[in-house]
Amino acid sequence: MATQRIIDFINTRRPNGPCMVLDLEVVRENYHNFEMALPESKIFYAVKANPAPEILRLLASLGSNFDTASVAEAEMALDAGATADRISFGNTIKKERDIARAFELGIRLFAVDCIEEVEKVARAAPGSRVFCRVLTDGAGAEWPLSRKFGCVPAMAVDVLLAAQKLGLDSYGVSFHVGSQQTDLSAWDRALGDAKYVFDKLSMEGITLKMVNMGGGFPTRYLKDVPTAQAYGQAIFQALSKHFGNRLPETIIEPGRGMVGNAGVIKAEVVLVSKKAANDNVRWVYLDIGKFGGLAETMDEAIRYQITTPRDGDLAEPCVLAGPTCDSADVMYEKNPYPLPISLTIGDEVLIEGTGAYTTTYSAVAFNGFEPLRSYVI
């Protein structure tokens, strides 16, 4: 929800055009909630969710570690004050020269999900720790991460064996249960797979030490979501169930759950219209759309809460679209979005819970619209 600080900022600064305003105090609170929910786990903030320098500096000062997907993200974390031993290169798809650059920067923790990638890491970052990502089905997630990353657990065994043979330190297993995961039992299934890999390697004389439990912690959009504490309890129970009293080191990589609810997008109604005189479908066009930062409305996956100055008036479903000349730039049509019928051109609306996966998804200048401006306060 928009905090008072965000509302005051918008009202006094009157920023022109669509923008995302993010309250660092909410990020601070989220960080503490994760710390309290999973006190034994190290937090690696997933930088891709929102790499604003102010956020990275705050998290670095609070003691966070950083999950980075590229050399540029790793450099941003370093610039924010994190040391290289607090940074992981968590992308399973890396150019060998980028692995070498990360190694030069001092990074020694890398994700892999196949032997081909292990070979690159062994050449470019000799002796480093690697963890192998296993596939999950993403069931229960509103933004599933599909089959692009990870391998089946049986293959993870071979990958980690190969890593050890090539002089790397086979350190653990990772997974990501899918983003905006509202099913608390998703971690249980994945931790069962992780334990399987631990056991198989143990039979080969290799003791894995770490489970990277990924992100997936949700932000509240239209529906309530369980608290960080509820996630912590469910995850701790699943860990105990599978690993007994020999718990591995654990990492969590919250992205959305760390910054999503800290940000709000201020946007403006550009047009309200219909397609025919006798058509009762109302189209509402905002000055922000899929290319301006709301990419996660793709397939209507993420459904944001929108507040308007006319809330309380009678609301009826409408098609909600962005301002560009691209017909894909429609946010909600299959499942129309209820907005007040009194909503009119020029009204300012707030799109809540937009601190994650918005500014970085915004096109540089598609159709001449400038990239989504961001104010971190």
Residues forming contacts to ligand PLP in the complex (CB under 6 A) are: 46, 48-49, 67, 90, 176, 179, 214-217, 253-257
Q: Are strands 87-89 and 65-68 parallel, antiparallel or unpaired?
A: parallel
Q: How far is the CB of 310 from ligand PLP (least distance, A)?
A: 32
> Minimal distance in Å, beta carbon 259 to ligand PLP?
9
Nearest 5°: phi and psi at 129? -80, 135
Residue (179 or 308) nearer to ligand PLP, CB: 179
Q: Is there a contact between 354 and 260 (Cβ–Cβ < 8 Å)?
A: yes
Q: How far is CA 329 from CA 265, 295, 339, in A?
A: 17, 9, 19
Looking at the DSSP bridge assignments, the partners of residue 22 are 263, 376
| Least distance CB 130 / ligand PLP (angstroms) | 14
**Least distance from C-beta 17 to ligand PLP, angstroms?**
26
By beta-carbon proximity to ligand PLP, the closer residue of 153 and 214 is 214
Packed helices 228-243 and 186-203: angle between N→C axes, nearest 10 degrees: 30
CB of 112 to ligand PLP, least distance (A): 12
Is-contact 111 91, C-beta < 8 A?
yes
Shortest Cβ contact with ligand PLP: which residue? 215
CA distances from 76 to 50, 328, 344, 374 (A): 11, 32, 41, 17
Report the C-alpha gap between 141 and 375 in whole angstroms. Answer: 29
Question: Helix 228-243 and helix 24-37: axis angle, to 10°?
Answer: 30
Examine the residue annotation and report whether 325 is marked as an active-site residue of this protein.
Answer: yes
Residue with smaller CB distance to ligand PLP, 232 or 254? 254
Structure tokens at 121: 């890491």
For 116, residues 6+ apart whose C-beta sits below 8 A from its C-beta are none
Helices (H), 166-318: 186-203, 228-243, 256-259
Whether 96 and 112 have beta carbons less than 8 Å apart is answered as no
**86 or 282: CB nearest ligand PLP:** 86
- Given a contact cutoff of 8 angstroms between Cβ atoms, the answer to whether 81 and 53 are in contact is no
Min separation Cβ 196 and ligand PLP, Å: 20
Give the residue with the Cβ less far from ligand PLP, 138 or 292. Answer: 138
* Closer residue to ligand PLP (CB): 113 or 329: 113
Active site residues: 325
